[in-house]
Chain A
Amino acid sequence: MAHISDLIATDIEQYLHQHEHKSLLRFITCGSVDDGKSTLIGRLLYDSKMIFEDQLAALEADSKKVGTQGGELDFALLVDGLAAEREQGITIDVAYRFFSTDKRKFIVADTPGHEQYTRNMVTGASSADLAVILIDARKGVLTQTRRHSYLVSLIGIKKVVLAINKMDLVGYSESTFDKIVEDYTAFARQIGINEFVAIPVSGLRGDNIKDPSAHTDWYHGPTLMGYLETVNIEDVAQHRPLRMPVQWVNRPNLDFRGFAGTIASGMVKQGERVRVLPSGRESTVTRIVTMDGDLDHAIAGQAITLTLADEIDISRGDVIARPDDLPGVADQFEAVVVWMSDEPMLPGRPYWLKIGTKQVAATITEPKYKVNVNTLEHLAAKKLELNEIGICNVSLDQPIAFDPYEQCHETGSFILIDRLTNATVGAGMIHFALRRSQNIHWQALDVNTKSRAALKGQQPAVLWLTGLSGAGKSTIANMVEKRLLALGKHTYLLDGDNVRHGLNRDLGFTDADRVENIRRVAEVSKLMADAGLIVLVSFISPFRAERRMARALFQTGEFHEVHVDTPLAVAETRDVKGLYKKARRGELKNFTGIDSPYEAPENPEIYIDTTRRTSEQSAEAIVEYLQQAGVLSPAH
C-alpha cells in the first residue's frame, strides 16, 4: 500500500505514531455506472496513492485495451470487475475498498446498481457513517437520485455529500451546479435529509477531488477528499443511554462469571448500578475486564467483559442498561421491513428474527403499506417481494429489549432468517413498540389474555352460534374451525352434544338445567378466550337471558353472537339426528321449537339464513367477518 507521506521515508516511527491515532470513516457511494461512480472511487484510490506499480501497469494496459477513455487511464477499471462477476451469475451485494490519507482511514462500501439495488444499498449503507450521492451534472436530480437518497435516509445516515460529477462536461457551469443543488434541496427536505454538502467534481479529470479545481473558482467549499478527511464523525453513540447486548457468558471456572459484549451505545463505569433486560434484575458493575487490564469505564464500540456484584441470571441476548434510562421491552412492534429474498415475505409465516445478540421466533403481519422507492408513494400490499420495502407489524414469541432504530441502530435493527433454508431473507428497523411493558417484573404483568393471544397472532374471541336443533350450527362451526386452522389460528370448538357427554353429563333438559348448561359453557369459553383462543360455541342456547349472561363475561368486542336461522319446518324436515320425530312422539321433553321456546337474537353480530346460503358460504361469511373485526390479526 503505497500510501505516501514524507514522514514514511524520513521518520517511520513518527509516521506510525501518527497513523496509530487516525480515525476511521466508513462511507457508501450511491450512483450507477453511468454516474461515473467507479471512476470516482478509482480516482480516490489513485489520489490517495493506493495503487501499486504492478496494479498501475495493469491499469495502463487495460485502459489501452478495454478502457473507455481513449487510451487515457480509466480509473473505473480499478474497481470494476463486478460487472464480469455479475455475468457469471455471482451475487454481489457490496464490495469494500480501503484507502487512507494522513488524517483518516477509509472503508468504502461500493454497491453495484441495477436490479438488486435496494437490497445491496441497504446492506452497504447499514455500516456507513456517511453517504456520497453521485449526480451526473448533465442529467441533474433523477429518479435514481431520489431512490438513493430515500434509502440513505431510511438507513439513518446523517452525513450526506452530493457529488455533482462530470462538471467538465457542462463547462464547469456554476448555474448548472446551483440549479441541481436547488432541486435537490427541495426534495431532500421531504425525506428528512436536512443537511448535505454539495461539491462540484470530475472523477475523470480530478477536479475538486483532492485539490481545489482551477475550473471552479466560483466554488469555495471543501474538496471531496478534504471533506471526507475532516467531517466530524465524533461518535455521538457514547453520549447516549448505555446499551450492551450480552453476547457470550464467560465462565472459565467457578470463580469467574463475566458477560462479554460490545457496547452498542453509551458508557459503562466500574461501580455503576445496571439493570438487565428483559428480566429487570439489577446489580452493580464490579469489573470491566479486558486482556490489557481492567478499565474504569468503557464506551460504545468497545468489546469488553463485565462482572457483576450479584449472582443474577443473565444469558446471551439480554441487554444491560442503566436503571434511569432503559430500553423498551415488548413482543410486538411496528417496523420497516426490507425484503431481500426471491421468495416473498408472507404474512403469518414464522421466521427467525435476530436483533443484537438475541434470536427469537417472529411473524409479520400483512404490510400496512409498501413504499415505491422511486416515487415514495405508499401502496397497498399483501406481501413483500424481493427489494420491496414495507411498514409491518412484527410479533415475537417472547418480549425483547429494544430501542427505536432512530435512537440506537444496534438495538433497533434486525434481520429475518428463513426457518427452512436458514437464508437471511429480510432486514428491519424498529419504529415503536405496539405494547410496551417497561416494568421490572414483566412476567407477572405481561402474561395475560393479550400476550397469549399475541403469541398466536390473533385476538381472543368467542363465536356463539345459536339456533334450532338441526339448523346447521355444528356443520358451519366445523367448517369455520377448519378454515381458521388453515390460516394458522388457534381455536377450540365447544359443541352442545360433546359437552353434554362430559362436563355437563349431570344436566338434563329442564329450564334450570339448560341455564346451568349455558353458564358452564360460557365460563369454559371464557377460560379458553383468556388463554388467547378463538372459541366456537355451538349450542342451541334458546334463551336471550343466558346468552346475555354469557356475553357479559367478556370484554367488548370479544363476544360474537351468530344466529344460524332456519325455519322450524326446514329444520324438522332435515332432522339429522331424528330428534324432532322423537319430540313429536313425546319421547323427548322440553325440546326447543316443539315444547320449549326458542328466543331468536334481536341484534346478533352475524345473521345466517341457511335457506339462502350453503354451509360453505356461511362459514366463508363468518371467517370474513372475523377478518374484518380484526380477530385474526394481533392486537395493535
Chain B
Amino acid sequence: MNDTIHLTHLQRLEAESIQIMREVVAECERPVLLYSIGKDSSVMLHVARKAFYPAPIPFPLLHIDSRWEFRDMYALREQTAGRYGVRIIAHLNPEAVAMDVNPFDHGSQIHTDLWRTRGLKQALDEHRFDAAFGGGRRDEEKSRAKERIFSFRSAQHRWDPKNQRPELWSLYNARMHKGESIRVFPISNWTELDVWQYILLEKIPMVPLYLAAERPVVERDGTLIMVDDERMRLNPGEVPRMRRIRFRTLGCYPLSGAVESDADTLPKVIQEMLLARTSERQGRLIDHDQNASMEKKKQEGYF
C-alpha cells in the first residue's frame, strides 16, 4: 500500500471548482463567465484556465460594464484579454447609455439596477447564454449560506426559491428547458481567506486597488470615496485629499468605500483582513441602500 498523500484544503477547493466548471461545459450549450474584474472573478478565471488546459477557456467572459468602474479595473480587463486570449464581451446597457445614468443624478439604486441588473439580463438574452458562472461565495452573507451551486433562473431570469434542486454528492443536474438558464457558483465553498491565499499562492494578477497606496479621496457620511476621474462630483467646499487607502471590494468607484490601510502587499492584506473587526460587505454601499436584502436582489437577478 502506498503512503497516504494529503491534499490541502485549497487543493480540494480548487479541484471541486474545476469539476463544477467542466460539468457546465459538458452539459450546457452556451456558458459564459461573469467577469467583474474583482478578486473572486479573477480566481474563477484562473480555475477555468486550469480546468480546460491545454485547451483555451471554451467560453467568453462577460463584463457588465457601468462606465463607472475604476480606471485600474479597465486596465486589468484589457491585460486579461491580451494575456490569456480569452474573448471578453463588455456589455453596456444602451438605455442607461442614452439616459447617461450615473450615481450622482440617479442615485445608487437606479444606477445599479439599470447598468448591472438590467444590463446583465440584456446581455444574457442577447447572447442566449444558458449558464453563467458567478463568483458568489456562501461565506459572504447569511442568506448566501444556503445558495445552491447550480441556481436556476426562469426565462425571465427570476430566481424561484421554491423551485431549486437538491444537490447531492457532486452530482449536478444541469438539465433545463429552452429559455431557462442557470447561475453557477464554482467557488461557493471558498472563504475570503481562501480566495486571498489562493491569489497569493498562484500569483494571480489583481487590480492594484486591493493594495494600500496614496490615493485622492473625499469622506462622505463616514465613507471614503476615491476620486478616480474628473467625473466625480464634489460637494461645495469638498477637496480631495491624499490618503493611504485600499479597497476590500470593488464596483463603481463612486459607490465603493475604501478603508485606510498600510497593507501594500498581499500577505499584509491578508493579515489585515484576519485581524479585521468588520465583515467584508461593510464597504459595499449598495448593501446598505434601502435595506435591500440579498434575497430580494437575487430574485431580481442581481448577484
Of B9, B189, B273, the residue contacting A23 (CB under 8 A) is: B9
From residue B149, how far is it (CB to closest CB) to chain A in Å? Answer: 10
B139 adjacent to A98 (CB under 8 Å): yes
Chain A residues with Cβ below 8 Å from B267 are 12-13, 16
Chain A residues with Cβ below 8 Å from B188 are 96
Chain B residues with Cβ below 8 Å from A23 are 6, 8-9
B138 at the interface (CB under 8 A from A): yes
Determine the distance from Cα of A107 to Cα of B142 in the docked complex, in whole angstroms.
Answer: 14
B50 adjacent to A122 (CB under 8 Å): no
B161 at the interface (CB under 8 A from A): yes
Chain B residues with Cβ below 8 Å from A410 are 169-170
Of B49, B51, B176, B268, the residue contacting A260 (CB under 8 A) is: B51
A251 adjacent to B55 (CB under 8 Å): yes
A414 at the interface (CB under 8 A from B): yes
Chain A residues with Cβ below 8 Å from B99 are none
Chain A residues with Cβ below 8 Å from B5 are 238, 299
Of B12, B50, B278, the residue contacting A291 (CB under 8 A) is: B50
Determine the distance from Cα of A101 to Cα of B19 in the docked complex, in whole angstroms.
Answer: 27
Chain B residues with Cβ below 8 Å from A260 are 22, 51-52
- One of B100-108, B193-201, B218-226 contacting the partner: B193-201
Chain B residues with Cβ below 8 Å from A107 are 189
- A5 closest partner in B (C-beta): B274
Determine the distance from Cα of A498 to Cα of B285 in the docked complex, in whole angstroms.
Answer: 81
Interface residues in A461-503 by Cβ distance below 8 A to B read none
B83 at the interface (CB under 8 A from A): no
Chain A residues with Cβ below 8 Å from B171 are 354-355, 413-415
- B200 closest partner in A (C-beta): A16
CB contact under 8 A between A89 and B193, given known A16-B270, A424-B173: no
Interface residues in B260-285 by Cβ distance below 8 A to A read 267-268, 270-271, 273-279, 282
Chain A residues with Cβ below 8 Å from B50 are 290-292, 303
- For A, the interface residue count at a CB cutoff of 8 angstroms equals 85
A301 adjacent to B7 (CB under 8 Å): yes
A-B pair count, CB < 8 Å, reads 207
B162 adjacent to A413 (CB under 8 Å): no
B4 adjacent to A52 (CB under 8 Å): no
A119 adjacent to B166 (CB under 8 Å): yes
Of B12, B18, B173, B277, the residue contacting A415 (CB under 8 A) is: B173
A422 at the interface (CB under 8 A from B): yes
B233 at the interface (CB under 8 A from A): no
CB contact under 8 A between A303 and B166, given known A81-B143, A95-B145, A417-B173: no
CB contact under 8 A between A126 and B169, given known A301-B15, A357-B26: yes
From residue A290, how far is it (CB to closest CB) to chain B in Å? Answer: 7
Determine the distance from Cα of A262 to Cα of B19 in the docked complex, in whole angstroms.
Answer: 7
Interface residues in A400-436 by Cβ distance below 8 A to B read 409-410, 413-415, 417, 422-424, 427
A340 adjacent to B145 (CB under 8 Å): no
Determine the distance from Cα of A631 to Cα of B50 in the docked complex, in whole angstroms.
Answer: 52
Interface size classification for chain B: 35 or more
Chain B residues with Cβ below 8 Å from A12 are 267-268, 270-271, 274
Of B2, B18, B138, B295, the residue contacting A98 (CB under 8 A) is: B138
Determine the distance from Cα of A299 to Cα of B7 in the docked complex, in whole angstroms.
Answer: 9
A218 at the interface (CB under 8 A from B): no
From residue B133, how far is it (CB to closest CB) to chain A in Å? Answer: 15
Chain A residues with Cβ below 8 Å from B53 are 289-291, 305
A247 adjacent to B26 (CB under 8 Å): yes
CB contact under 8 A between A303 and B51, given known A23-B6, A417-B175, A422-B175: yes
- B18 closest partner in A (C-beta): A303
A225 at the interface (CB under 8 A from B): no
Determine the distance from Cα of A258 to Cα of B53 in the docked complex, in whole angstroms.
Answer: 10
Interface residues in A93-138 by Cβ distance below 8 A to B read 93-98, 100, 104-105, 107, 110, 119, 122-123, 126-127
B282 adjacent to A427 (CB under 8 Å): no
From residue A246, how far is it (CB to closest CB) to chain B in Å? Answer: 10
B87 at the interface (CB under 8 A from A): no
B268 adjacent to A89 (CB under 8 Å): no
Give per-residue flags for A268-295: 1 if the beta carbon is below 8 A from chain B beta carbons, else 0: 0000000000000000000001111000
B191 at the interface (CB under 8 A from A): yes
B193 adjacent to A19 (CB under 8 Å): yes
A1 adjacent to B277 (CB under 8 Å): no
A616 at the interface (CB under 8 A from B): no
B168 at the interface (CB under 8 A from A): yes
Chain A residues with Cβ below 8 Å from B139 are 1, 98
B214 at the interface (CB under 8 A from A): no
B142 adjacent to A81 (CB under 8 Å): yes
A3 adjacent to B274 (CB under 8 Å): yes
Determine the distance from Cα of A97 to Cα of B173 in the docked complex, in whole angstroms.
Answer: 23
A105 adjacent to B161 (CB under 8 Å): no
Determine the distance from Cα of A323 to Cα of B154 in the docked complex, in whole angstroms.
Answer: 46
A82 at the interface (CB under 8 A from B): yes
A252 at the interface (CB under 8 A from B): yes
B197 adjacent to A252 (CB under 8 Å): no
CB contact under 8 A between A21 and B8, given known A52-B277, A54-B278, A247-B23: yes
Of A2, A238, A422, the residue contacting B173 (CB under 8 A) is: A422
B177 at the interface (CB under 8 A from A): yes
B231 at the interface (CB under 8 A from A): no
From residue A335, how far is it (CB to closest CB) to chain B in Å? Answer: 14
B4 adjacent to A239 (CB under 8 Å): yes
A234 at the interface (CB under 8 A from B): yes
B241 at the interface (CB under 8 A from A): no
Chain A residues with Cβ below 8 Å from B286 are none
Chain B residues with Cβ below 8 Å from A423 are 163, 165, 173
B213 at the interface (CB under 8 A from A): no
From residue B33, how far is it (CB to closest CB) to chain A in Å? Answer: 16
A250 at the interface (CB under 8 A from B): yes
From residue B52, how far is it (CB to closest CB) to chain A in Å? Answer: 7
Chain B residues with Cβ below 8 Å from A3 are 193, 274
Of B8, B175, B201, B270, the residue contacting A22 (CB under 8 A) is: B8
Determine the distance from Cα of A52 to Cα of B192 in the docked complex, in whole angstroms.
Answer: 13
Give per-residue flags for B41-54: 1 if the beta carbon is below 8 A from chain A beta carbons, else 0: 00000000111111
Of A90, A235, A239, the residue contacting B2 (CB under 8 A) is: A239
Chain A residues with Cβ below 8 Å from B277 are 2, 52-54
From residue B124, how far is it (CB to closest CB) to chain A in Å? Answer: 19
For A97, A107, A316, the residue with the greatest tally of chain B CB atoms inside 10 Å of its CB is A107
Give per-residue flags for A52-81: 1 if the beta carbon is below 8 A from chain B beta carbons, else 0: 111100000000000000000000000101
Interface residues in A1-49 by Cβ distance below 8 A to B read 1-4, 8-9, 12-13, 15-16, 19-24
A439 at the interface (CB under 8 A from B): no
Chain A residues with Cβ below 8 Å from B1 are 239
A94 adjacent to B146 (CB under 8 Å): yes
Determine the distance from Cα of A444 to Cα of B83 in the docked complex, in whole angstroms.
Answer: 51
Determine the distance from Cα of A265 to Cα of B1 in the docked complex, in whole angstroms.
Answer: 14
Of A24, A352, A357, the residue contacting B9 (CB under 8 A) is: A24
A369 at the interface (CB under 8 A from B): no
Given contacts A122-B168, A423-B173, 7 further A-B contacts (CB under 8 A): A2-B275, A52-B279, A54-B277, A82-B146, A107-B189, A123-B166, A238-B5
16 A-B residue pairs with Cβ-Cβ distance under 8 Å, sorted by A, are: A1-B192, A23-B8, A23-B9, A24-B13, A82-B146, A97-B145, A98-B138, A100-B191, A127-B168, A238-B4, A289-B53, A291-B49, A354-B171, A415-B168, A422-B177, A424-B166
Q: Which 3 A-B pairs have the closest CB atoms?
A: A252-B55, A53-B277, A24-B9
